[in-house]
Amino acid sequence: MATKEKKQEIVQELERIFSQTEVAIVADLNGFTVEEITKFRRKLDKDEAKCRIAKNTLIKLASKDSKFAQISEVLHGPSALIYSSADPAQPAKTAVEYFKSLKKGSIRGAVFEGKLLNESDVKALASLPSKHELLSQIVSSLAAPTSGIVSILNTIIGDIGNLAEEVAKKNNNAA
């Protein structure tokens, strides 16, 4: 059993997590082996996300004065807290895909931007493109008109060159 000091340390760590994160997802990892949890954590690390397993009462204490206070509504049974400060969609995507591949584990809900999300909302969040994909789409959208303008300018310059050549031929023939 954890001592009072150890519990206070955990609450402080969770408070720090809640102050620095964009999304907090509550998942049920019941039935997972240590190896499966380790593999899941490694996948999350690659996506700049983390998984913290803690007692529900400690999570409730740590979140009560934050924008994640509603998370207490989805805390029941053994809970894992999945969070990220980088890209809110990526930890949801990783969790949903991993649970689907193992055919175990479930999402109970999440809090994102101060709003409580249910399991289907988290799955919808997981289906969104990642921040990196969205930035790539924006850059390519911005670059497309530029390349079109360059193509038009090259055509106009080529036409002007052809026109000048024709005028020069006419002037040579007239002289």
pLDDT for 24-42, tens place per residue? Answer: 999 999 899 999 999 999 9
Distance CA 60, CA 81 (A): 12
Residue 147 pLDDT class (50, 70, 90 cuts): low
Phi-psi region of 49 (alpha: psi -120 to 50; beta: other; left: phi over 0): beta
Sequence-distant (≥ 6) Cβ neighbours of residue 65 within 8 angstroms: none
Closest CA to 11 of 41, 74, 56, 77: 56
pTM of the model: 0.71
Distance CA 107, CA 97 (A): 11
Q: Strands (DSSP E) along 105-164, which ranges?
A: 106-112, 115-117
Residue 12 pLDDT class (50, 70, 90 cuts): very high
Closest CA to 51 of 63, 62, 42: 42
Closest CA to 40 of 123, 101, 125: 101
Q: Please give the average per-residue pLDDT across 11-16, as a whole number.
A: 92
> What confidence tens digit (pLDDT) does each residue in 72-99 have?
999 988 889 999 888 888 899 999 999 9
